[in-house]
Amino acid sequence: MIRAHRWLALLIVAATAVALSASTYFPPRGQWESRSAEQLGFDPQALQSAVDFALAHESTQNRDTAADLKATFGKREQDFRIMGPTKSWDAMCGIIINDGYVAAKWGPVDRVDMTHSISKTFLSTTVGLAWDEGLIRDVHDLVGPYMPDETLFAGDHNGAITWDHLLRQTSDWSGELWGFPDWADRPVGENITEMRDREMYAPGSHFKYNDVRVNLLALAALHVWREPLPVVLRESVMDPIGASSTWRWHGYENSWITIDGQKMQSVSGGGHFGGGMFINAWDLARFGYLFLQNGEWDGDQIISSAWIKQARIPTPVKDTYGYANWFLNTDHKMLPDAPASSVTFRGNGANIIYLDWENDLVIVMRWIQGGDTVNQFV
């Protein structure tokens, strides 16, 4: 009887998804229908004013990305080096999607650019797919037992780290990966001795944005999938949502391992040391629209709504952060004038995907000034 009820419930959910997809526009590959401001209920002048505001607030960041990374992160980080590819950026661009249709676009939206830490959202998505498939049984499982060699998770401290800790950037993992130590990434302290002898925190008790540990999550996910994460992402997400063939997800020159006799690159969760996701604004909009539709695309559940619900749960020690790289607007802290339920995927540049379920909005902003500028634009 329980089993029969479960199948009935699944059939109802499936029927509901089909009904919703029938009334929701999903752009076919290579196309995205536009509608006028009036058709979408915008004040045309106000919408144009928003676009003009964005254009007037283009990032002042150095267009030479390699030079910018060396001048910012490299200025303070011990033995900083660029290990993956970089690409200079050209100009601000953006897209506004409302009710599924293009309300406005500006700038070189077809140009493939680095997206920096939005790469982390693509990474956490591949972890979510593994969870959906049962390859990861529980996000609160220890990560070490999922690895063929538990060396990276040896000892009392690293051995206590769970998938949830890595996803929320609260692991405080200690070690070296791809030749770069955790303490050298956004270091704490005034000298190298203080940086190396940093205060240690129990896993789960302290938030620290750290690309070395995010790259560790990518390596762990690679071992779980046993195939390159870009392949997983392409087959499970990007092809089904009609993304282009131009995006690339890079790792580092030394982040290669061998699984089942095949060399595979462990990808980067950002552009901090180079690498990460290189992608155009249209594909970012499709990726954002997938989550605005709670993981469903034209009748197919690409990633479970249960995973998305978990990703939006505030981290206990950082209530504006969910899973990587889900920035939450808890209590209107990040975007005071946007709904508290809104979410942004954020990367250096600034590169931003804004999701607003209350207003049925996806906004892609690329190379816009950060800080309050984003709030004013939204």
For residue 295, give the amino acid letter.
Answer: G
Distance, CA of 66 to chain centre: 21
3-state secondary structure of 121: helix
Residue-level pLDDT, tens digit, the chain, 378 residues: 333 333 444 444 444 444 444 589 999 999 999 999 999 999 999 999 999 999 999 999 999 999 999 999 999 998 899 999 999 999 999 999 999 999 999 999 999 999 999 999 999 999 999 999 999 999 999 999 999 998 999 999 999 999 999 999 999 999 999 999 999 999 998 888 999 999 999 999 999 999 999 999 999 999 999 999 999 999 999 999 999 999 999 999 999 999 999 999 999 999 999 999 999 999 999 999 999 999 999 999 999 999 999 999 999 999 999 999 999 999 999 999 999 999 999 999 999 999 999 999 999 999 999 889 999 999
User: Measuring CA to CA, which residue among 92, 94, 87, 95 is closest to residue 60?
Assistant: 92
In this prediction, residue 369 carries a pLDDT of 96
- pTM confidence score: 0.93
The two three-digit tokens of residue 187, written as one number: 């270091």
pLDDT tens per residue across span 139-170: 999 999 999 998 999 999 999 999 999 999 99
What does residue 322 show for φ and ψ, rounded to 5 degrees? -105, -125
DSSP letter at 2 equals H
**Do residues 90 and 107 make contact, with C-beta atoms less than 8 angstroms apart?**
no
pLDDT tens per residue across span 163-207: 999 999 999 999 999 999 999 999 998 888 999 999 999 999 999
User: Measuring CA to CA, which residue among 21, 11, 9, 12 is closest to residue 290?
Assistant: 21
Question: In what order do the strands lie in the sheet containing 276-279?
Answer: 113-114, 276-279, 248-259, 262-267
β-strands 262-267, 248-259 pairing:
antiparallel
Q: Residue 222 to residues 23, 80, 273, 369, 376: CA-CA distances in angstroms?
A: 37, 25, 19, 34, 39
In this prediction, residue 150 carries a pLDDT of 87
In this prediction, residue 22 carries a pLDDT of 52
In this prediction, residue 190 carries a pLDDT of 86
What are the residue ranges spanned by the domains of the chain?
A: 1-378
CATH superfamily ID and name for 1-378: DD-peptidase/beta-lactamase superfamily (3.40.710.10)
Q: Is the dihedral of CA 112, 348, 193, 143 positive or negative?
A: negative
